[in-house]
Structure 1
Amino acid sequence: MQLLINLDVPDLEAAGALYRQAFGLTTGRRLGEDVLELLGAQAPIYLLRNAAGSEAAPDSPRRYERHWTPVHLDVVVEDLDAALAVAVQAGMKPETSILDARWGRIVRLADPFGHGWCLLQFHGRGYDEIAT
């Protein structure tokens, strides 16, 4: 299976700049006027320009204010404090303080387009610390 990540955004240039700065991604291809490919993650990320209010699903318009969604992206980093500082400078907003767990550290963020993100820093064996 090949995984592709697609994120709806209202502004390709602003979103591309944010994710390049916050996560160190690079610009790949431009696919027409409404799609921008970002590289540097384990799967390519495609930013899809879709206007606010356009249909996302039946009877569900796209909205770009922060909202709950059952899907979010985790970015694993070596130094959570440094990565958080870069992400905030790029325009991400922390939604929690840094939380410690047996497997590592985590902080939840939101981007200006309504998407939820987490930065994770693993300790020891990472998730294997809690695997049964």
Structure 2
Amino acid sequence: MQQLINIDVPDLDAALAFYTRAFGLHAGRRLGGEVIELLGGQAPIYLLLKAEGSLAAGAETRRYARHWSPLHLDVVVLDLDAALRSALAAGAVQEGDVRSANWGRIVAIADPFGHGWCLLQFLGRGYDEIAG
């Protein structure tokens, strides 16, 4: 199975600038005028140009203010403090303190398009520290 990550954004150029600066990704292909492929992670990310207010899922319409979703993405980094500085400099908003656990450190952020992310730094054996 292969995963592809699709992220709706209202402005492709602003999204490209954010994700390349915040997460160190780089542009792959432009697919027409409404999709940009981002590479550099384990799964490609596709930025999809979708207007605010356009029909999303069900009766929902797209909105790019901060919103909650039961799905978010984690970005695993080697240095959480440096990654957080880069994300904030690119326009992310930190949501809460950096939290530590026996498996690592984590901090929640929001991108400029209202999507939630977590930056995650594994320590020791990572999730194996808590595996049964």
Q: Which runs of 5+ in 1 are unaligned?
A: none
Equivalent in the alignment of 1:125: 125
Q: How far off its partner does 1:83 sit?
A: 0.7
Q: TM-score, normalised by structure 1?
A: 0.99
Is 1:99 matched up with 2:128? no
Q: How far off its partner does 1:58 sit?
A: 2.1
Q: Percent identity?
A: 68
Matched AA of 2:40: G
Distance 1:26 1:59 in 2: 34
Residues 9-44 of structure 1: CA distance to partner in whole angstroms, max 9, x if unpaired? Answer: 000000010000000000000000100000001000
Residues 48-90 of structure 1: CA distance to partner in whole angstroms, max 9, x if unpaired? Answer: 0000000001210001001110111100111100110011000
Equivalent in the alignment of 2:12: 12
Alignment coverage as a number of residue pairs:
132
Q: How far off its partner does 1:108 sit?
A: 0.1
Runs of 4+ in structure 1 over 3 Å off: none
Matched AA of 1:124: G
Q: CA RMSD in A?
A: 0.5
Equivalent in the alignment of 2:76: 76
Helix, strand or coil for the counterpart of 1:18? helix
Q: Which runs of 5+ in 2 are unaligned?
A: none
Q: TM-score, normalised by structure 2?
A: 0.99
Distance 2:11 2:93 in 1: 18
